[in-house]
Amino acid sequence: MSLASIKKFYQNYNNGHIIYQGNKEVIKVINRQKPKRVFEFGCGTGKNLNIVTADYRCGIDLSVPAIEEGKKFYPDIHLILEDETFLPTIRDNYFDVAFTVSVLDHILSPTADIIVEELKRISENVYVVESNDLWQPLCFPHDYESMGFRKLDYTWTSPTTKAVYNMYHLKSETYS
């Protein structure tokens, strides 16, 4: 399966405003840090960013219907219709926290690896919540620990797919 065919599928994808348990848990962790600027890669409608307590919340997604709907529901969130090629336009360490939930497991390597490197560049504090055991079309496992992430003591099992989701964290030693 090519990156182009995956993108074509997700350009019209919109899972609405459902916030799964894995999403809620990473947002609890983020909110405890009281960040000022937060970025989400693959934000959909912005539903996760809506419950993040930060002064500036920004997300990108390639889904036209999701971004359009999100702009109506969450006008205070900066939602951008873009894909991973937008990431290099963001200044180094601009965000206090960057995160992604169940997005990278739908992206092939080496593109997923490049996205992770960009997330690490735009924030020294990055969270990833992904499943590495979902073997279906459009699902690709990645070794986040080999990318410098630490697997946190949190798992969530999807009641529908039975996939097990894990939370990973990377915090640069220079983060203050």
Per-residue confidence at 116, pLDDT binned at 50, 70, 90?
very high
Higher-confidence position of 18 and 127: 127
142 contacts 130 by C-beta, under 8 angstroms: yes
DSSP state letters, 131-152: ES---STT-----SGGGT-EEE
CA 176 → CA 82, 96, 125, 138, distances in Å? 29, 9, 10, 37
Percent of the chain with pLDDT over 90: 65
What is the arithmetic mean of pLDDT over 133-137? 66
Q: Which pTM does this prediction carry?
A: 0.90
CATH number of 3-171: 3.40.50.150
Task: Note the pLDDT of residue 174.
Answer: 41
What is the arithmetic mean of pLDDT over 37-49? 97
The domain ranges of the chain are 3-171
